[in-house]
Amino acid sequence: DTRSAHLSEPALLPVGDVTDPTTGSLTKRPSSPEATRTSRRAVNEPPVVATPPQGRSEGSRHPASRALEAAQADNSLQVLDSKKPSAEMERASSQDDGGDSKGAVVQLVQVLRYSQSDWNKLKQDLELNFQASLLNKERDWSLMLAERDKKIAALEETNRKVKHTNEDMRMIVAEFEKTISQLQAEKEKTKTDSHKTVQSLESERDQAIEDLQSVETAFSDLHRRYEKSKSIIEGFKRNEEQLKQCVEDLQTKLKKSEMKLQALRSQAEDKLDKANEDIEKIKKSTRSDMVRLEAALKKAELRISGLEESLQRKCVVNRCEAVCSEDAVNVWCEQM
């Protein structure tokens, strides 16, 4: 790049001197406004830079070629920037010279050091070198891109494995979190159950203490009752001895009473036999009296029936007599 910039760098000479391309000698050229403008435009314009072949589009060109062209363009701009101060100084000197009374103006023009064929050959060499460097860069970049593709493929495979591992780890972490949540729930449940169990045990303990106190109270009452019952039983035993003595006495009295009862029973049976005999005698006497009275009753009934018949006959006779007397009275009344 430095060589191409150096070869394309123009030489600044006075306007009146021109280099012959065939002989290389200097020739005088009259100073004119057009020549001055041409020399100033040549100084201000950038040097000619070899351009790459136009067969490829900007989008399809290799990145190495684009980078190389950018580097060459930067070098050309640096050369142009280095030449601008000298051109400005020359323009200032020309303006100062134009102010003199004589009107002598010294102007610079660009003088070609090489012929057109040399320039074309140099341009062709530069293009060949540029294409060779582009091919080398393309080959290097192809190798680098292949290596990069391999690295990318390896990284993608590693990324895929890492993603798969991450998925497995996510599943494991999810299962672990699920297990932890279950363990926490079981812990809370166990804690709640243990708390309930402790409360139930405490209530059972309190109930057992109350039962023990009640049992102790009942035992003390039972012991007191036992002592009382013991004293009562001792009293009962004393009473039993007394009652046994009383029973023996009463049994002796009972035997005596039974003997008396037996004697009284025999006497009562004798008296009862006598009373039964008297009753039989009375029954027999009353039976004969009943027969006699029944006969008298029948006789009285027969007498009553006879009297009733005679009474009926007398009633009929009285009725007949009354009827006859009434008829007689009626007849007498009629006769009267």
Give the integer Cα–Cα distance in Å for 93 and 12: 14
- Domain span at residue 70? 2-113
Q: Is residue 146 part of a domain?
A: no
Q: Is residue 268 part of a domain?
A: no
Q: Is residue 37 part of a domain?
A: yes
Q: Is residue 159 part of a domain?
A: no
Q: Is residue 90 part of a domain?
A: yes
Q: Is residue 72 part of a domain?
A: yes
Burial bucket for residue 22 (CB in 10 Å: 0-12, 13-18, 19+): exposed
Q: What is the DSSP letter of 103?
A: -
Give the integer Cα–Cα distance in Å for 156 and 162: 9
At residue 309, the pLDDT reads 87
pLDDT in tens, 177-207: 889 988 888 888 888 888 888 888 888 889 9
At residue 24, the pLDDT reads 47
Provide the token pair at 9. Answer: 């760098």
Give the integer Cα–Cα distance in Å for 282 and 291: 14
Q: Are 9 and 47 in contact (CB under 8 A)?
A: yes
Q: Are 16 and 106 in contact (CB under 8 A)?
A: no
Provide the token pair at 40. Answer: 């100033």
At residue 74, the pLDDT reads 60
Domain count, the chain: 1
Q: For the chain, give me the number of helices (H) and strands (E)?
A: 4, 4
Q: Are 15 and 27 in contact (CB under 8 A)?
A: no
Residues of the chain with pLDDT under 50: 1-60, 79-80, 83-86, 92, 96, 98-110
At residue 289, the pLDDT reads 82
pTM: 0.25
Q: Is residue 76 part of a domain?
A: yes
At residue 14, the pLDDT reads 40
Q: Is residue 46 part of a domain?
A: yes
Provide the token pair at 219. Answer: 């035992």
At residue 152, the pLDDT reads 92
